[in-house]
Amino acid sequence: MDFDLIFRLRNFIEVLVLVGGHLINIKKNIKMITIFFVFLMIVFNSCRNDNEITKNKGLKVVTTTTMITDLVRQIAGEKVELKGLMKSGVDPHLYKATEGDVNLFLEADIIFYNGLHLEGKLVELFEKMNKRGRNLFAISDGIPKSLLISSSEFANNYDPHIWFDIGLWKKAASFVANKLANIDSSNKDFYLNNLIFYLAQIDSAENLIKEKINELPKEKRILITAHDAFSYFGRAYDFKVMGLQGISTLSEASVFDVQNLANFIVENDVKAVFVETSVPIKNIEALRQSVRSKGKEVRIGGELFSDSLGNTDKPEGTYIGMIIYNVNTIVNSLK
């Protein structure tokens, strides 16, 4: 697919708008064309197999979460042999390494992981790889500490859900591209050019997201989810965010937590709460029951992707597709 042609076509249409008449109708068409092309790019990228190993003899790259796997794929393309440990729907907080994972780590030229204790049960494996001198990189190292959200649950640690702030994810993308370019200098231009194109895609997606969020009055921007994964999203897009469980799904919601959140829902007339694809629904159902016992009803507004992308044969199997899907689900349910 010739993406440069797509952008040139869009720019040509914008010139027509400036020159010609029917300004409002053409602008609407531009918006629809932009949405259509973004969708095409998402579908095109999602058709690639999540665990595909390319036939060339490039770098062997191993990634942990589905978000990082997609990120490396966008930048490295066919230049690397890419293997992601986690499948769609897997909770990285609870993921334990298999013997096959250990072998992949030992054979890898580069390993990318999130860091900030997201993959809490893999820490020992990371330490072993460090001692062996492997190229092991936490993508969160590409983000200044001043931009991270402190964790009230874990002293001196930060919220690891950095991908929900698009600005931070762009920094992570630059970090990955530069690491690849430094280690595989013969393909430096390829990685850095792909980075430029990918950042442009993300910018286009964020423009669509902001337009959608602007449909929702600020007083209705209350996002209640299964666990506290959306704080970066809330900070970036002016939502009050509350999770039934803490930052890590290792923590358990107590009866006290359920009662407090139920009271908040009743007092603020919250219409919908959200489940997550990687977190069991039982706690949200308990929350709904608690609200019901207080004479109110709160519905499930939809299922959000939090710690994992969707299936790779769908748009939600990419980072951009996931973000657009989440925002549409949130706004349509709350407005």
Report whether pLDDT(9) > 50.
no
Write the pLDDT tens digit of every residue in 169-194. Answer: 999 999 999 999 999 999 999 999 99
- pLDDT-based confidence at residue 257 (cuts at 50, 70, 90): confident
53 within domain boundaries: no
The reported pLDDT for the residue numbered 292 is 95
> What tokens does 215 get?
């449909």
248 pLDDT exceeds 90?
no
232 in a structural domain: yes
Domain annotation covers residue 264? yes
Nearest to 136 by CA among 104, 161, 174: 104
More confident residue, 209 or 227: 209
For residue 52, tell me if it sits in a domain: no
Mean pLDDT (whole number) for 13-22: 40
Coil vs helix vs strand at 283:
helix
Q: Longest Cα pair distance anywhere in the chain, in angstroms?
A: 66
DSSP-based helix, strand, coil % in the chain, nearest 5: 55, 15, 30
Is 51 within a domain? Answer: no
Q: What is the CATH number of the domain that holds 137?
A: 3.40.50.1980
54 located within any domain? no
Q: Are 247 and 160 in contact (CB under 8 A)?
A: yes
Q: HSE on the CB side for 57, CA within 13 Å?
A: 0
- Residues 13-33 as b/e (b if ≥16 CB within 10 A, e otherwise) read eeeebeeeeeeeebeeeeeee
Verify that 85 and 201 share a domain, yes or no.
yes
Residue 142 included in any domain: yes
Return the pLDDT at 149: 96
Tell me, what's the pLDDT at 2? 43
Number of domains into which the chain is organized: 3
Give the domain extent around 200: 59-211
One domain, residues 176 and 249: no
Both 221 and 312 in one domain: the answer is yes
250: pLDDT strictly greater than 90: no
Q: Are 239 and 217 in contact (CB under 8 A)?
A: no
pLDDT surpassing 60 at residue 54 = no
Question: Considering the domain boundaries, does residue 79 fall inside one?
Answer: yes
Tell me which of 179, 195, 211 is where a domain ends: 211
Q: Do residues 172 and 139 lie in contact, with contact meaning Cβ atoms separated by under 8 Å?
A: yes
pLDDT digits (tens, 9 = 90+) for 123-166: 999 999 999 999 999 999 999 999 999 976 666 789 999 999 99
Query: Do 200 and 243 reside in the same domain of the chain?
Result: no
Q: What number is the average pLDDT over the span 61-85?
A: 98
- 25-29, 96-100, 208-212, 328-332: which range is least confident on average? 25-29
| Sequence-distant (≥ 6) Cβ neighbours of residue 36 within 8 angstroms | none
Cβ neighbour number for residue 174 with a 10 Å cutoff: 18
Q: Which of 196, 211, 226 is the last residue in one of the domains?
A: 211
- Mind listing the pLDDT tens digit for each residue in 84-109? 999 999 999 999 999 999 999 999 99
- Of 286, 282, 272, 212, nearest in space to 242 by CA: 272
Asked if 222 and 184 sit in the same domain, the reply is no
The residue among 37 and 223 whose pLDDT is bigger is: 223
Q: Is residue 313 classed as helix, strand or coil in its secondary structure?
A: coil
